[in-house]
Amino acid sequence: NAGVTQTPKFQVLKTGQSMTLQCAQDMNHNSMYWYRQDPGMGLRLIYYSASEGTTDKGEVPNGYNVSRLNKREFSLRLESAAPSQTSVYFCASSTRRAPVGPHQPQHFGDGTRLSIL
Amino acid sequence: QQPVQSPQAVILREGEDAVINCSSSKALYSVHWYRQKHGEAPVFLMILLKGGEQKGHEKISASFNEKKQQSSLYLTASQLSYSGTYFCGTESYRDGNNRKLIWGLGTSLAVNP
């Protein structure tokens, strides 16, 4: 049972390069999330998707774009990487059916450690 | 607005108890607790939905006081495996149907033999 799978696990980019972080879940979850985690900053929501075909901005969306390709997959794109985007990126999913109902337990992937030089 | 967790860090000896608090300036719809071990992903512990509700997971339990807009996580007879960073996430009524889970900065817990 894979759960939430993120690729790649590690990546080093140069400033200005672009890249897409991939996330797939096999739990038939409706909601998917992208977070970044920086030392001392906790988890900050970048974008989320309440269902296939919908995406919404979180707390820190600038410099990122997302695509909910289908129910399983939710990708995060950095169009022009900046050193400030060096971080650990987590993808998560849950059964929550927005907008009604409370948030449900989120299942996290192992993370992508991204360094931008 | 981000919930405030206290303390920021705590060191215990195996078998000791600890309490971690999570406070918000907003009326809370739910409080979520997660634990993250170093270099790993956060793992769900429990959700509290109603005021005064208490839930348990192993020897970890939590309470939710709606009036005080806070939740407390109780770790009883701590084990080495409890070490990690504990995060609370809160949902606020004020955000209506656009409720997001807002995370605290975490409490680092170290349990020593």
Q: A56-68: per-residue pLDDT in tens? A: 999 999 999 999 9
The DSSP call for residue A58 is -
Instruction: Tell me: pLDDT of B54 over 70.
Output: no
Are the beta carbons of B91 and A105 separated by less than 8 Å?
A: no
Nearest alpha-carbon partner for B101 in A3, A73, A59 = A59
Q: Looking at this protein, which amino acid is placed at residue A81?
A: A
- The pLDDT of residue A24: 97
pLDDT in tens, B15-45: 999 999 999 998 888 899 999 999 999 999 9
A88 touching B, CB under 8 A? Answer: no
Could you tell me which residues come within 8 angstroms of residue A90 by beta carbon, excluding any fewer than 6 positions away? A6, A34, A35, A36, A37, A43, A108, A109, A111, A112, B41, B42
- The pLDDT of residue B57: 66
3-state secondary structure of B80: helix
- The pLDDT of residue A69: 86
Are the beta carbons of B30 and A105 separated by less than 8 Å?
A: no
- The pLDDT of residue B90: 92
Nearest to B103 among A43, A48, A100 (CB): A43
Task: Give contacts of B43 with chain A, Cβ < 8 Å.
Answer: 108
Instruction: Tell me: pLDDT of B104 over 90.
Output: yes
- Cα separation, B113 vs B74, in Å, equals 19
A48 touching B, CB under 8 A? Answer: yes
CA distance B71 to chain A (A): 16
Are the beta carbons of A102 and B44 separated by less than 8 Å?
A: no
Q: Looking at this protein, which amino acid is placed at residue A87?
A: S
pLDDT digits (tens), chain A, 117 positions: 679 999 999 999 999 999 999 999 999 999 999 999 998 888 999 999 988 888 999 999 999 999 998 999 999 999 999 999 999 999 999 988 766 667 788 999 999 999 999
Q: Which strand ranges, in their side-by-side order, compose the sheet holding A4-7?
A: A4-7, A19-25, A74-78, A64-68
- The pLDDT of residue A15: 97
